[in-house]
A and B are shown apart, each in its own frame.
Chain A
Amino acid sequence: MPRHKLIASESDGKDNEFSLYYVEVEENSKGGKEKQATRDGKRRRARKGEVSRRRASEKRSTEMSNKRAEKKHEKHHKTTRKEGEKHRKRQRRRNADEEAEEESSKEKKNIKNERTKTLKLEDEKEKDVKKKRKKHVKNEEDDANPGKTKQKDCQDVALKEKKKKRKKPETTSESESNSDSESKDNQAVGVLGSLTPEELEKLKEAVDERKKLITTLKGKPWPMKKKLVILRYEFVEKYEGALGKGKGRKLYAYKVMMMKKWMKFQRDLENFKTACIPWEMKIKEIESHFGSSVASYFIFLRWMYGINMILFGLTFGLVMVPEALMGKPYGSMPRKTVPREEEASAMNFAVLWDFGGYAKYSVLFYGYYNNQRAIGWLKFRMPLSYFLVGVGTVAYSYMVVIRTMARNANEEGGGDDTSFNFSWKTFTSWDYLIGNPETADNKFAWCTKEAIVEEQESRKDDNIHLTRFLRVLANFLLLCCLAGSGYLIYFVVRRSQKFALEGLENYGWWERNEVNMVMSLLGMFCPMLFDVISTLENYHPRIALQWQLGCIFALFLGNLYTFIIALMDAIQLKRAEEEIVKKNMTIWQANLYNGTVSDNSTALPITVHTGNVPRGPCWETMVGQEFVRLIISDTMTTYITLLIGDLFRAVLVQFLNNCWCWDLEYGFSSYSEFDVSGNVLGLIFNQGMIWMGAFYAPCLPALNLLRLHVSMYLQCWAVMCCNVPQERVFKASGSSNFYMALLLVILFLSTLPAIYTIVSIPPSFDCGPFSGKNRMFDVIQETLETDFPAWFGKVFSYASNPVLVLPFLLLLVLAIYYLQSTSKTYKRINMELKKKLQTKQNEETKKKNKLAANELEQARKAGEQRSNSSQHTQNSEPPVSSTHTTTRPPASRGHTASGHLPGHPQQPQKNSHSNRK
């Protein structure tokens, strides 16, 4: 069947035609017919309203009443046959509708729903509206169609019909139906004309009510058919309301139309938005295989990716690109040139891989940037921008993390309620997302375990001395582990400095990458050790997990901080070296000048190749390099362990299983699990390193972005192909704020050293955007002095006076204290209210139970009566409707013919079933 798209929107000023807007698509013949009928109805109504309005404007003369009666009779005879069929249908539908509502309300009663009342109210309102309309229809019949006006209208309508045909000749089927509906149109004149303003108001209110119902329709637990019926019903009604309004009718209709369009637009936007979320399908696939906890890791990863995207945007757009485009080109200054002695190997891959050579002397690192105040034709303040971006990235990260935490806390709501442990376990422990039989098996086992373990845990008190001893031992071992790993890192870093002093060229690959490798290896193997140790402690699984996470966290943190301490040592060394270079530099310069001065006294610019100029060690670049290397090696180890630990193991298990002594799949070394918490921690620490190093190596966010992107795909793939679901399935939501808190701690701890270096160590004298300044933050002062008017600087200096700052800090502390105490009281009040509510609810439910019992009794009686009289009513209904030759067309847009009546076909049976009980 061809699709007919019909958009009829006539808005000729003269005709004052109601602008009707709809889009129809016909699918199959049945539906098409149906729709045509309803379309007719709609159009008729539109015309009817329009006509009736005009009629209302005319004065109604009394003499017409005689003719009216005659005409009416004639017309009735003609149209009853046509109308009758349709009308009966509609009647049936409406009855069914009411019935369905009754049913649903009854069902609600049965389950003692509190919303019964509101629902009933709604139903009543609906009925009211219907009754009212019926009344209108009757009224209208009584004083029926005025003769003259009707004829006039007839012509009018015909005229319009022609116009319409002219306008859209492609809708042939439409015009056909138009022609045969014309006669009906005459009948349809003036449904609404007879309405008084109050009635109109009421009708409008009802329409608004319906609209509200429609907007909340999504949230109603009704079957689709009923919802559809209500929705379609409403469309019709809206037009009635629109037509009946009189003066502002057109505006109103326009508004309604715009509302609809706006809704559609919003919906499309929503669709578009969901389509734009990256990796949505991937994550959903994983979700359906492994449940929500594994998917939560990937959602976290995606969130991280978003943050890094913004960090990258900041550093790339405001630091790297301006410097590359507008700054002095490569080779123009000593700091932008590879030194002569390194030039030979500067392009070697090994050197570049270590971020030495050309990579070191590029926009990727701090040292490349010039201290020129404004660069390019834009007068871009490079040093200021560099500083502000460094501060901005940290500030933005703080903001995002804290905002997310607050939102999570909000969502969790008063998490202090732990009074429903068992109920939650039974009602909410099943993860409906799980579509993988294996996961389901694990989940089964875990559900039982968790429920019982909880129960046993409270009773267990066997041999407390042994457990105590074991726990002390375990803690001792843990401390040893942590201290040992810390010392190892410190030792390695110190050794690497020794290597560096003696020149790296004499050593092999291992010596060069020792620090990173040791850190990565520790990060890989220590968690396994912790796992073994934690079995000693014999804690409850959940506590054990948290304990283990805490251990890993401590390990990572310790490692990171020893690394930083070692770096600090290195910085001190470099600075000592720098002092020497500075001295040498002056001597060298003096020599140079002496040499040139002797040649010719006119001070020609000294032309020394920039590569030959001696330079300081530039500790900032060194720090940046270290961090970049750390990130690279960390990424590599993650991927390699992924490949070896998961893929290799999976392949081995898969293929060796046939020729092995025991069952590899279920015995030792089965497939690996996806370790959610470990992976999340790894991600968090990785991010911490980014935050720490981003100031000295602007390329870090970009690298991290790359890493996250790759690991998204790699891990998705690895999870799907070689992991089995976890045996212990943990809830995703419960731990999200835990991870966020970890992230916040890491963020804080990683900004500390960065801030320390920025504030207390003077920048190198010959590299970086702050060279030549005493401290890095002097940029701010400089900008204030030169770029802002004098009074601003004065105000600022006053504001930064300790006399003002200290009271301000005090005020802040006081404010925090105040807010905290108020929030505490709010919490308490909340709890009290909750208690009150609960007691009240108890009383009410008791009352309700009694009431409900009574109602049930009544309902049963009523039901019996109805079933007795149902046959009777069925017989009597059609004649009633045929005598009711209302001019109202069917209300629905044609759901009637589909055979199914609205409502829950199961409900009546269910109800009777329950009544019998």
Chain B
Amino acid sequence: MGGTSSKLPKDLLSEYQELTFLTKQEILMAHKIFSELQDRENGPYSSRVSMEKIHTLPELKSNPFRKRICHVFSTSDMKDGSLSFEDFLDLLSAFSDSATLEIKSHYAFRIFDFDDDGTLDARDLEKLVNSLTGETDDTRLTGEEMRQLISNILEESDIDKDGTVNLSEFQHVISRSPDFVSSFKIVL
């Protein structure tokens, strides 16, 4: 595959359908968009698209977690958050309509896990809240509020009381939420 051949090979397409929650149309759409992004890439041609280019997509433009999303789904060796087409498909699959709660919560956890250490600790939560409230001063929580909020969160979700939220705790909390599955979606 790649940008030079504008069409996806048929067997690859069927394999992608097998491996993702996407339909054929969606994969083709994703391929089109990805090829466009690739074409816009200045500099030497590569099968990857840099994070900045990915962020120009309208679907991700205003998402406060866009950097995290790219980092989580990138398989790049350089850790620059660049995505290959397969990474891109992975991303879309996890955010698609029909993806299971399990896979969605797994990726959500990794997105929220800012320092990639496998647990959500107080610092992760702070970053998370900050990116939710935006960077302007008037919307930002004060230190006191932040502390209160984080302690509230930990009190609820940290079942084993080790001061962090791990994946299974996170999935436990998320699975009860009525609207996580409907809001953890990105549609091209």
Contacts and interface: CB of A to CB of B under 8 A. Distances in A.
A113 B23 contact: no
A845 interface: yes
A904 interface: yes
Interface in A597-611: none
A288 B183 CA distance: 11
B151 to A, nearest CB: 9
B182 interface: yes
Given A24-B11, A219-B102, A447-B132, A224 B86 contact: yes
Q: Does more than half of chain A's interface fall in helix, strand or loop, or is it mixed?
A: helix
Interface in A434-470: 434-437, 439-441, 444-445, 447-448, 451-452, 455
The 8 A-B residue pairs with the shortest CB-CB distance in the complex, in nearest-first order: A224-B86, A440-B62, A111-B118, A444-B134, A845-B160, A422-B152, A428-B180, A733-B179
Contact of B187 (A27, A287, A734, A845): A287
25 contacts: A25-B11, A107-B118, A218-B18, A219-B102, A231-B18, A268-B24, A270-B23, A288-B187, A292-B179, A413-B176, A415-B178, A419-B156, A423-B173, A433-B185, A435-B59, A444-B64, A444-B133, A841-B159, A845-B160, A849-B160, A904-B75, A905-B77, A906-B79, A913-B117, A914-B117
Given A25-B10, A31-B9, A845-B159, A448 B25 contact: no
B116 A910 contact: yes
Interface in A287-307: 287-288, 291-292
A734 B149 contact: no
Contact of A432 (B11, B103, B159, B185): B185
User: Which of A111, A412, A846, A904 counts the most B-chain CB atoms under 10 A from its CB?
Assistant: A111
Nearest to B161: A842
A271 B24 contact: yes
Nearest to A448: B133
A112 B118 contact: yes
Interface string B66-99: 0000000111110100000011011001110000
Interface residues of A, number: 92
A445 B139 CA distance: 6
B51 interface: no
Interface string B38-75: 00000000000000000000111111110000000111
Contacts of A224: 16, 19-20, 86-87, 89-90
A429 B182 contact: no
A515 to B, nearest CB: 41
Interface in A108-133: 110-114
A508 interface: no
Nearest to A296: B182
Contacts of A114: 168
Contacts of B10: 23, 25
Kindly state the interface size class of chain B when it binds its partner.
Answer: 35 or more
Given A426-B125, A906-B79, A111 B149 contact: no
B33 interface: no
A267 interface: yes
Given A113-B168, A219-B100, A732-B179, 13 more contacts: A28-B5, A223-B87, A291-B183, A426-B153, A444-B139, A445-B134, A452-B141, A455-B145, A455-B148, A731-B179, A841-B172, A900-B75, A906-B74
Interface string B153-188: 100110110100011111011101111101111110
B89 A427 contact: no
Nearest to A230: B19
A507 to B, nearest CB: 52
B122 interface: no
Contact of B168 (A219, A422, A845, A913): A845
Contact of B178 (A263, A444, A734): A734
Nearest to B69: A432
B159 A842 contact: yes
Contacts of B23: 270-271, 274
User: Which of A22, A27, A217, A910 counts the most B-chain CB atoms under 10 A from its CB?
Assistant: A27
Contacts of B1: 27
B166 A111 contact: yes
A138 interface: no
A111 B119 contact: yes
B141 A448 contact: yes
A615 interface: no
A113 B19 CA distance: 22
A392 B129 CA distance: 53
A166 interface: no
Nearest to A268: B24
Contacts of A444: 64, 132-134, 139
A176 interface: no
Contact of B180 (A113, A427, A433, A441): A427
A733 B179 CA distance: 6
B5 A435 contact: no
B33 to A, nearest CB: 13
A228 interface: yes
A97 interface: no
Contacts of A263: 18
B103 A452 contact: no
A232 B11 CA distance: 11
Contacts of A426: 125, 128-129, 132, 149, 153
A419 B156 CA distance: 7
Contacts of B18: 214, 217-218, 231, 263, 267
Given A110-B118, A426-B128, A733-B178, A434 B63 contact: yes
Contacts of A846: 160
Contact of B5 (A27, A228, A904): A27
A414 B145 CA distance: 31
Given A430-B132, A731-B178, A225 B5 contact: no
A218 B125 CA distance: 29
Contacts of B114: none
Nearest to B157: A423
B106 interface: yes
Given A25-B11, A288-B59, A225 B86 contact: yes
Nearest to B72: A906
Nearest to A110: B118
Contacts of A110: 118
Contact of B174 (A274, A427, A432): A427
A420 B11 contact: no
A814 B160 CA distance: 45
A404 interface: no
Contact of A25 (B9, B103, B129, B178): B9
A542 B184 CA distance: 22
B34 interface: no
Given A455-B148, A917-B117, A734 B179 contact: yes
